[in-house]
Amino acid sequence: MSEHEFKGIIGQPLDRVDGPLKVSGQATYAADWRGTTPHLIGYIVESPVAKGRITSIDTKAAESCEGVRAVVTHENAPSQIPFGERDKGGRFAQSHAVMRSNEVRHLGYPVALVVADTLEQARHAALLVKVEIDAQDGIFNPETHEDQAKAPDGLDGSDEVDTEDGDFEAEYASAGHRVEGEFHTPSQHAAAMEPHATVAEWDGDKLTVHMSIQILSDGRKAFANTFDIKPEDVHIVAPFIGGGFGSKLGVHNEAILAAHGAKLTGQPVRIAQHRRNVFSNGPHRPRHRQRLKLGADENGKILAIHHDALSIMARDYPFAEAAASPTRASYATKAMRTQHRVVEGDIPKADSMRAPGEAVGTLTFESMIDELAHSCGVDPVEFRVRNEPEMDPHSGKPFSTRKMRRCLQEGAEKFGWQGPVSRREGNWLIGHGMAAAIRPNLMQPAEAEIELSTDGHLTVRLDMTDIGTGTYTILTQIAAETMGVAPEHVTVKLGDTDFPETCGSGGSFGAGSTGTAVADAAKSLKDDLLQRAAKADGEWKGANSKDLRIEGANIVLGSRSLPISELGERSGGLSAKGAAKPGKEHDTMAQYSYGAQFAEVAVDAVTGEIRLRRLTGVFDAGRILNEKTARSQLMGGMIFGIGAALMEESLMDERYGAFMNRDLAEYHIAVNRDVPQLDIHMVEGFDENSNPLGSKGIGELGICGAGPAIANAVFAATGHRVRKFPIHMEHLLESLPPLDG
């Protein structure tokens, strides 16, 4: 089999190479890991108040329980750097100190950790810990404390906090069609299948942790900055992660607590958060209030856009979601103003959740664009096409590629779009709606190494993670195609800080960034192999390496061949390193992925119950690295969008700062009954300005546009313009027809 026969491996729907390990139960997730030393189990005692100071804590009864090895509190916790300090590396690298003092940071904050031989013993003893707290008033709702709002130092994704282009007031006043609205989106939790879990073990000042984390390099810095140790003394292992969606980008409380317990007991300590823990000791998407004003002329050309967002952030944890970011790149306009403000609150960490910024920003903005199209009397698809920009509306940079128009038009054709259709089928009100999708395409520095063993097998290593997205598989395909060998001759190893450093999984930049590094390493190794072959003893010594080729497991010239394994054996094994970094095109061009989504909903005319019947998406993400895993990612994103539109919300009792629906019985996510057959299409493409592979970010693109398409379909069915998400049936009652209608 010749080298060129492997040139089509990238893009093929190759089955997940890690699939057999997972379905056979052999994949080792964080809480599955067992070393040679028996582990102890940690159980978190949570604070019953959201803000205050611990005045006394009694652990005697807990310490006397059978099997209990230690009870950790602020009184005996290992030394730590204060929470939030050493933040030059960003929020993920800052100190994540837990129980450093008697301060309570939020409801559910750890006030003690019970370490015992078994989970049952630890849980029983935890009930016996008595704590008294001097409770203080906290801030939980940014709108009731808007007088304390401030401009954040920066936004997630490094967008400008505020922008002002053109004269908004003048253009808005001159607009023949004007619409405005105030939108509310709720707090949400990622609810990954695998809760956060960590096994920690100390050897002197060296810390080893097996944990569920998306970005290992930042996690290493976080432990170092928390415990005042060297980053190289921290070893993180995370080969398999059961979902992340942004909730595992960094280190969270259970990881620091496991390290506390291990330090005090001298044994490895395992903590797996239970589901209710995750809602207080893991991160969440913060609630937002967004205000929008849009104006267009009589020809349906947008003249003015105003988008401001108010949200909440956890104290000493600098995360502000860029809700207005997609607005800045979506449509041509003469004037645009965007603004972000935050209020510091006494809440668990507010942090990234899939498509941070774009998910909540397109949800509201694309709903308002639909309203403006209706005001102008223009079909929503035509309205968007009519206002397509030639250059990035805010920066003025040229687009690396922009296939939004194609996504809109192909989506309309595949859905059978005939405008915002409204009809009735018995008690069901049927409506069609659509929305555009846009998300920044990012690239980050990454490194990789590839090794040829003496038996001719290739092993790729990098500290990249696979959170269920198919990283093992696509990196296998990239290495195999670059080398010109079959995928079964390649093994990819991930999730270990002993491997070359990468950007990790997040921001939809992982595949393009780490894939480029792997391709670079494979090319270097291939060039080395061919050059060595050209110098090998035998008939072809002195041949030009450019005339050599790889065929399967052999290097070939004419009728002569040399097994790759022979070169590996002669050399005692060969290796090469590769690297990737953003090119100048990421500074000089506007880089985005695009999509368009179309929805059909049915609303019960009596109850207001909403049922999604169809959802079609057409997406441009450049070159597709694996058709099967890409489709899976888009499908998952679209399901996220369904949840955001119709069900997902973390409800807080603002008297106490308590999330009330802290389990999957009450925090509703989309299940099979809620999801129709999804119609997913990917346009062909290759963005040479993105990275050498030609790919663009895809993981979070699918969520963008799904929610507003559903909301716009609800409007078509009922006449109700959604201002509060998720959409509840009671929101629609006043818009439903009379019972005798």
Is residue 254 within 8 A of residue 109, CB to CB? The reply is no
Beta-bridge partners for 616: 598, 679
Q: Check 344, 388, 700, 730 and give the catalytic one.
A: 700
Query: Half-sphere exposure of 478 toward its Cβ, with a 13 Å CA cutoff?
Result: 32
Catalytic annotation present for 700: yes
Instruction: Indicate the SS3 state at residue 733.
Output: helix
d(CA 304, CA 335): 5
**CA distances (Å), origin 333, targets 171, 198, 253, 294:** 10, 49, 45, 10
Q: At what angle do helices 358-376 and 627-646 cross, to 10 degrees?
A: 70
Q: Is 100 exposed, middle or buried (0-12, 13-18, 19+ CB in 10 A)?
A: middle
Query: Which residue matches tokens 């989106």?
Result: 185
DSSP annotation of 233:
G
Instruction: Indicate the SS3 state at residue 541.
Output: coil
Nearest to 116 by CA among 174, 194, 195, 59: 59
Is residue 680 within 8 A of residue 502, CB to CB? The reply is no
Nearest to 99 by CA among 224, 258, 219, 315: 258
**First-residue to last-residue Cα distance in the chain:** 70
Provide CB contacts within 8 A for 300, sequence distance 6+: 177, 373, 376, 377, 378, 382, 383, 386, 387
Tokens for 481, please give them.
């195609």
Kind plus residue range of the DSSP H or E element containing 600: strand 592-604
Tokens for 228, please give them.
């005042």
Q: At what angle do helices 510-535 and 564-571 cross, to 10 degrees?
A: 80
Q: At what angle do helices 627-646 and 706-718 cross, to 10 degrees?
A: 50
Provide CB contacts within 8 A for 366, sequence distance 6+: 435, 436, 705, 708, 709, 712
Say how many C-beta atoms besides its own lie within 10 A of residue 253's C-beta: 27
Beta-bridge partners for 270: 41, 199
Query: Among the residues of 127-248, which ranges form H helices?
Result: 168-174, 216-227
Q: At what angle do helices 471-483 and 510-535 cross, to 10 degrees?
A: 30
Query: Which residue matches tokens 């078509």?
Result: 716
Rounded to the nearest angstrom, the gap between the alpha carbon of residue 302 and the centroid of all alpha carbons in its chain is 32
Query: Which residue matches tokens 């109850």?
Result: 607
Provide CB contacts within 8 A for 388, sequence distance 6+: 331, 332, 402, 404, 405
d(CA 181, CA 369): 11
d(CA 494, CA 465): 6
Tokens for 534, please give them.
């050209």
Nearest to 255 by CA among 202, 217, 200, 194: 200
Catalytic residues: 700
